[in-house]
Amino acid sequence: MQSEMETLTPTSLSSPQVAGWIVAVCLAAAWMGLAWMRRRQRAQLLAALQDESCTSEGDSATGLEPLARAAFRRVRAERERHLRLTDRLSEIERVVRATPIAVIALDHLQRVVSANPAAERLLGFDERAARGRLLQDFVRQPALNRAVSSALATAGDSHATGVSGELHLDFEEPLEVQFSCEPLHTDGQPPGLVLSLVDVTRLRRLESMRSEFAANVSHELRTPITNIKGYVETLLQVELDEPAQQRRFLEIIHRNTLRLSGIVEDILTLAFLEEPEARHTLERKSFCAREATTAVAEDLGSAANVRGMRLLIEGDTEAKIFANRPLVEQALANLISNAIKYSSENQPIRVVIATVGPNTRLSVIDRGPGIATKHVARIFERFYRIDKARTRTQGGTGLGLAIVKHIATIHGGRVEVESQIGEGSRFHLILPNHEVSTDGA
Ligand code: ADP
C-alpha cells in the first residue's frame, strides 16, 4: 500500500506525457460534454417546436404573425447550432478514437461509459461488451482498481485535481503504465472519471538498458584506467634503477591503453551500427566471400600461430556477399579471434563458406570448450561473458558478438550458433549474396 501511494504523485510524469494526457483528458471531457449538450439541444429543439406550434395555432386566432416568424427563426437557429455541435462531436470522437492513449470514461460507480480502441488494445477488452459493466469485473488489476477508487473518492471534492502516477500491470506480458484520473462532471449525476493510460513499458525497458549499459561501460573502463594511473604514478614517484622493471611497467601501461582503446572503439562501432540511418547510408557492393575470409585469416594469422593453431578456409570458392566489406571482415574477425581465444592450443579453426539460397553462410568452427545452452541465448548481449574474470584477462571487451549480430542484422542477415560443451562451437554468419532491401530488416 505504501509503495502504491508513492506512485500516486504527478512528479513521475514527463512533460510531453503530461501534455498528451491533458489533451486526452480534455478531449474525452469535451466528448462527454458535447454528448450531453447534444441531448439537451435535442430537448430544447423539441420544446421550441412545441412552442412554435402553439404560437402558430394562436396566429390564426390572434393574428400574431411576427411572433410566429420569430419563433420559427429561433427553431432554425437552434437546428443549425445542433448540426454544428453534432459535427464537432463526431470530430472529437474521431480524435479520441485515433489517439494512442487509452481513454476510459467511468461513471460514479466505476461502470464503463465509453472507451476508445487504444484502451481496448491495452487492457484487452471489447468496449461494446464492457459498456455499463464495472471496470474491475473485466480488468482485474488491483493496483489500477485501487487507483480508480481513490480518485473517485475525491472526484466530488470541488478542489479535486485528479490523481496520476505510474503503475505496474500484471498481465501475461507485464506492462508499465502512466495513468491519470480526472473527475468527469455530467448533468445531474455524481461525478465519474476519465481514466487515461499511457504504455511506457518500452520506454522503461530502454531506460534500464541504457543505465545498465552505462554501468557496464564504467565498470569495464575502471580497471584499465586504475592500472594505468597506478603504474604511471609509480614511475613518476619511485626512482627505478632497473630498466627491465621500467620496461615491464611501460608494457603494462601499453596493454591497458590498448584495452581502453579497444573498448572505446567497440562502443563507437556499436553506436554507429545502432544509428537508424546507418542501414541506409552504408556502402554495399558484391565481393568474393573467400577473398574477404583470406584477408581476415592473414590478419589473424600471427595470433593463431602463437597458439599453434591453423586457420583453414574451405567450401564454395565462388560465393559472393552483397554487403559492406569492412564490416563483414570485422564480424568475421570477431568470430575467428573468439575461436582463437577460447579454444585450447594447437586446435585447428575452420571457416567453411557455403551458398544457401539467396545467402552466403560463413561458418567459423572451433574445437573449443563449447557453450552451455543457458548461455547461448545471451552471448550476443552487450558485455555478456560466460566466465567474466577469465575472458577479461584474455582481452575481450564483451562486445564482440553484439557487434557481429548488429553487422549481420544491418545487412538483412543473421548470426546463429550451434555449440555443445566439450565439442566446440559453430558460429554461422549468414549474409545476402545479392542486393536486397534492408528497410524492414
Ligand atoms: P568477448 O570480448 O568477451 O570475447 P564476445 O561478445 O565476443 O565478448 O563473446 C561473449 C562471450 O561468449 C565470451 O566472453 C565467451 O565467454 C563466449 N564465447 C564467444 N565465442 C566463443 C567460442 N568460440 N567458444 C566459447 N565461448 C565463446
Domain ranges of the chain: 16-93, 99-199, 203-274, 282-441
Instruction: State how far the Cα of 366 lies from the Cα of 348, in Å rounded to an integer.
Output: 7
pLDDT at 21: 65
Distance 297 CA to ligand 1 centre (A): 18
Enumerate residues 6+ apart whose C-beta is below 8 A from 223. Answer: 256, 392
In the chain, what percentage of residues exceed pLDDT 90? Answer: 64
pLDDT at 5: 36
Distance 385 CA to ligand 1 centre (A): 6
Residue nearest to atom 18 of ligand 1 (CA): 338
The correct CATH number of 203-274 out of 1.20.1260.10, 3.30.450.90, 1.10.287.130, 1.10.1740.10 is 1.10.287.130
Instruction: State how far the Cα of 144 lies from the Cα of 423, in Å rounded to an integer.
Output: 52
Distance 422 CA to ligand 1 centre (A): 15
Distance 146 CA to ligand 1 centre (A): 48
Buried b or exposed e, range 359-377, using 16+ CB within 10 angstroms: bbbbbbbbbbbbbeeeebe
What's the CA angle centered on 132, arms 35 and 120, to 5 degrees?
A: 85
Question: Which atom of ligand 1 is nearest the CA belonging to 402?
Answer: 6
Q: What is the pLDDT of residues 304-322, one digit of tens each?
A: 999 999 999 999 999 999 9
Residue from 213, 336, 391 to probe ligand 1 pocket by mutation (most atoms less than 8 Å from CB): 391
Buried b or exposed e, range 233-248, using 16+ CB within 10 angstroms: eeeeeeeeeeeeeeee
pLDDT above 90: residue 13 = no
* Mean pLDDT for the stretch of residues 19-44: 67
Instruction: State how far the Cα of 250 lies from the Cα of 200, in Å rounded to an integer.
Output: 50
* Mean pLDDT for the stretch of residues 190-213: 93
Distance 271 CA to ligand 1 centre (A): 20
Domain 282-441 has CATH 3.40.50.450: no
pLDDT above 50: residue 12 = no
Residue nearest to atom 8 of ligand 1 (CA): 398
150-159, 203-212, 243-252, 316-325: segment of lowest average pLDDT = 150-159
Residue from 385, 388, 403, 407 to probe ligand 1 pocket by mutation (most atoms less than 8 Å from CB): 385
Q: What is the pLDDT of residues 225-247, one digit of tens each?
A: 999 999 999 998 887 778 888 89
Distance 339 CA to ligand 1 centre (A): 8
Note the CATH architecture for domain 99-199.
2-Layer Sandwich (3.30)
- Tell me if domain 99-199 and domain 203-274 are identical in fold: no
Residue nearest to atom 11 of ligand 1 (CA): 385
> Rounded to two decimals, what is the model's pTM?
0.68
Distance 190 CA to ligand 1 centre (A): 64
Residue from 220, 266, 332, 338 to probe ligand 1 pocket by mutation (most atoms less than 8 Å from CB): 338
